[in-house]
Structures are given as C-alpha cells and as structure tokens.
Chain A
Amino acid sequence: MYGVYDYDFKFENQEITVGVEKRGGFLRYFRSLKNGSDNVEKILASDTGKIIVNPVEPLNLPKEITNYLEIEFEPIVIEPNSYRKVYLKFPIEIGVFAATKKSIDILDIFSLNNQKYSLYGPPDSGVICRWYKSDVFAGIPKTEILKEGVIELNIQNTSHEWVEMRRIVFESYGMKIYYNDIVSMVAVVKIINRMVAETNFINKPIKDGMKKALELYTARRIPVVERKGFLMEWGLK
C-alpha cells in the first residue's frame, strides 16, 4: 500500500478501502474503514499531482494532543556499563499526502489500531504520551505492516548499577520512519541512572533498501528547533 501513486490509485483489503476515483465530474479521494469508525471523502481540485501513502508518526489520532510516544514492555534488567540491542513494536498511523513538484500537503491520516494515551510523570510537570504495549524481541519480529512497525532499540547503560527498565518515551520530532516490507525506526536510549535516561532516534533504516517516510512536520511546514532527544526524568519503570 505504501508508495507514490497517480490519481487512479485504489487499495482495498478486509479492513480498509482507500483511493482516488473520478465521480460527478470531480476527482475524489475516499477512505473507509471496515469497522465503520469514520469515512472520509474529499474533492481533489488537481490534475497533475501524485498521491503518496506512507507510515507517519503515530501521534495524530483521534486528535493531535501530544508529541510523545510511550512504549511499555516486559521488564528488562540491564547490567552496569553494558550495551544491548532489542526490538520492540510500535503502532502505525498511515498518512496520505497530495503532492505536486513544488508542494506537498497532508490529505488524510488514519489507523487500523486503537489508540490509548497515558501520563508520563506527575500531572503538573509530566507529559501526555501516546501509549503502546509491546513484547520484547531479540531479532526483527514479524509485523502487520499496516498496523505495526519495529523499533531497533540500542540500550546503553552508562551507570554503575543494575537498571530495570519497562517503559520508554520518545519525542516525535526526531522520529525517522523507513519502510518497504516492514516499517522501522532506530533508536538509542542512554541510561544515566536508575531514574533518568535519554532517548534519541538515529536517521537510518533497520536494514538496507528501505525508503524514508515523509515526516508530518515537514509536510505541514512546521519549523522545528533541533532537540537533543527526550530526557526521561520520571523513572524507567
């Protein structure tokens, strides 16, 4: 489903129908989810554009209220001054973009997942996060490409103590999503002590030959100040 299409694009499976068709003298973009939650139809006043479909940062539905993604997983106890690589799954939202040579804009965002949000930290100074529960994998797990992606998580315990970790929080601005037969991100978490860690994304695919997904804030032309990742200062458990 992911890729660049002309205006004759149509995709249908058991859960979703999405595409562009000419009806009533207009080009119309349409999308319907089989669970009937919401349908979208828009007139496309364009002749020469393309449709781009790719996974986007999973922080837009049902309404954009946060820039943070929290993934909870079974506890990992990490020995002092060590490095481990594990794989987690993350939820996917699908972005449909209308593009011309000079301009690109978001047409629709939908998801085949249910959303859940959570609070990381105290109510007065914490952050609201999109919440997701994942298993922990030693290798790249199989995923449903329209629902889940894989995060390669490089854990560096730089402290001199054993650290138990059961959640990770990322900020969306650094998310670099790649796709082909799977959807992926690569992230690093640097554990500073039992309570504090810093998370970052690395701009590279999980394996060779993957395409980079369009970032939403690029499409929305939102200028972003470069940040040095997210500091998890309210605990790792």
Chain B
Amino acid sequence: MADVLNTVIYNTITVWDVLVVIVVVILAIIIAKIVTLNLKKILSDKVKKDVLEIIIKIVNYGIILIAFLAVLPQLNIDLSGLLVAGGIAGLVIGFASQSVVANLVSGLFLMIERPIRIGDQISIEGVSGFVEDIHIFSTIIRTYDGIYIRIPNEKVFTSNITNYVANVARRFEYLIGIRYADDADKAIEIIKKVIDAHPFALKNPSPTIFVDELGDSSVNIRVRIWAPSTVWYDVKMELLWKIKVELERNGIEIPFPQRVIWFGDKGGVKVESGKDIPA
C-alpha cells in the first residue's frame, strides 16, 4: 500500500500528494456547502434574496479557492513562478477569451452597481420579464410568457436597462374619449370616484384627470394614476373597464369615430343608378 502511495507520478509528485490535493479540495467543497447552507438559514430572513445569493457565491468560491491555493505547494507548484508564466499565459488566454473576461468583469460591476435585482421586472434590448438570477457571466430573464432567456452580462452592462420596479411607485395613464354632447365635468367626477374606490390607486400622489384635447370624434379626457410598482399593471387592467362601465351607467358614452358630411346648399346626391337622393 505504502509503495503505491509513494509511486512517483511526475518529478517528485507522488500518488500520495495527488490524493492529498483531491481530499483537501473535496473537503473544501463540503465545508463550503455546509457554510453556505448555514448562511442561507441564518441570513434568509435578514438579508434580501439577491444580496444573499451574492454573499453565498462569494463565500462558496472563496473557500474552494483558498483551499486550492493552500494545497498547491503539495504539487510542487510555486505560485511566484505561476505569476510569470501566468502573465504570458494570461495574455494568450486574455485574447482568446476576451468576451468571457468582459462578461465576468461586467458581472462583477453589475453586482456592485446593482441596477437590477433578482425578482425585478426589467426590459433590456427588447427583452422584458423578471430577473431570475444574476450569474458571474450572464443574467437570466424569465419573460412574461414564461420563456428562459440568458443574456451575457457584457450586453446587460452596456445596454439601456429599464427597471419597472426600482421605484416603489409609478404612474400610468389613459386617454378616454366622450361625446361632445356629454358633460366633461360630470365625466371627470365619475372617473375620480372610480379611482378613489380602488385600494391601490394611490391617494398621494393624487390622480390627475383633465380634458386634454378636443378630438375629431370625441372630447378626450387624460387620466393619470399612480400605483405601487408591484401591482401597477393589475390596477391598470382593472380600472379602465370599471371607468367605462361607470361612465355608461351614468349616460356618458365613448363615441365611435365619426365624421359629419355636408352636401352643400342645393342638397341631394346623384347616385349611379340615376335615382336622386333628396336633401
């Protein structure tokens, strides 16, 4: 048995050395797993999920890296030598893996700057959905129709990011047309009551409702409502129909596009059949 362990594999490195390295790395992986599990248990109620994920990743890879570096001398690997060799190799690898490194660095900057967090609703380069995870190299988006999309971090970092829930409240608006014959003040009063009755249409900032334009077919009323970012779309969907129903219940109608046609002084229209239509 001792002979097998003392068998030289390469230079002065024996089977025993390799075994030690493997055992240490495996132990480090197990310890990292135990530590991260306990961290999750302890911190899950005290730290936000996205921050916790980052802490856990750093601790996990940190433990494994430290163990690996500590055990390297067992393989007679001199780290100072590695630095020189690493410099040259780094250049080669750097050119070869430029995009990988760019994604890695972008990932680190994303974690520091944190324009997005796990669970946020965002839009990047035409991709909209929930942020599922932020990895070192890529960001995972679950679109609203449930599709998995992986975006490299370099693209995320250099793109315009729209984060729909970064602020606690947001505004949305409707343009509601009523007939010229209807009373716009009454319509505004009705719309205000419907909005006031909705729990998530915020009291402050208060909604604004006003006649915005005298359109071709209707008097257009602009309605601006603030809602909590987490539920704004639900509020938007619910309120429009309620406003429509309530307006109609009070005799105010939303008109179809219409055009008044005037036939001139003499009146009447000559139709192809030759039969005149009287004025």
Q: B-contacting residues of A (Cβ < 8 Å)?
A: 61-63, 65-66, 114-120, 123-124, 126-128, 131, 222-223, 225
Select one of B46, B166, B196, B202 contacting A119, CB under 8 A.
Answer: B202
Q: A-contacting residues of B (Cβ < 8 Å)?
A: 45-46, 166-170, 196-197, 199-200, 202-205, 226, 228, 230-231
CB distance from A113 to the nearest CB of B (A): 10
> Which residues on the A side are within 8 Å of B231 (C-beta)?
63, 65
In the complex the two chains form, is A128's CB within 8 Å of B199's CB? no
Given A114-B199, A123-B169, A126-B168, are A65 and B204 also a contact pair (CB < 8 Å)?
no
CB distance from A222 to the nearest CB of B (A): 7
Select one of B45, B170, B203, B226 contacting A131, CB under 8 A.
Answer: B203
From A61, A63, A119, A131, residue with most partner B Cβ within 10 Å: A119
Given A123-B168, A126-B168, A225-B46, are A118 and B230 also a contact pair (CB < 8 Å)?
no
Pick the 7 closest A-B CB pairs, nearest first: A118-B203, A115-B199, A123-B167, A123-B169, A223-B45, A118-B204, A124-B167
> Which residues on the A side are within 8 Å of B46 (C-beta)?
223, 225
In the complex the two chains form, is B228's CB within 8 Å of A65's CB? yes
Q: What residue in chain B is nearest A61 (Cβ atoms)?
A: B199
Inter-chain pairs besides A61-B199, A62-B199, A117-B199, 15 sampled, C-beta below 8 Å: A62-B200, A65-B230, A117-B202, A117-B203, A118-B202, A119-B168, A119-B169, A119-B204, A123-B169, A123-B226, A124-B167, A124-B168, A128-B168, A128-B169, A131-B204
Interface of B is mostly: loop
Q: What residue in chain B is nearest A122 (Cβ atoms)?
A: B167
Given A65-B231, A118-B204, are A123 and B170 also a contact pair (CB < 8 Å)?
yes
In the complex the two chains form, is A128's CB within 8 Å of B203's CB? no
Q: What residue in chain B is nearest A62 (Cβ atoms)?
A: B199
27 contacts between A and B (CB under 8 A): A61-B199, A62-B199, A63-B231, A65-B230, A66-B228, A114-B197, A114-B199, A116-B203, A117-B202, A117-B228, A119-B169, A119-B205, A119-B228, A120-B204, A123-B167, A123-B168, A123-B169, A124-B166, A124-B167, A124-B168, A126-B168, A126-B169, A127-B168, A128-B202, A131-B204, A223-B46, A225-B46
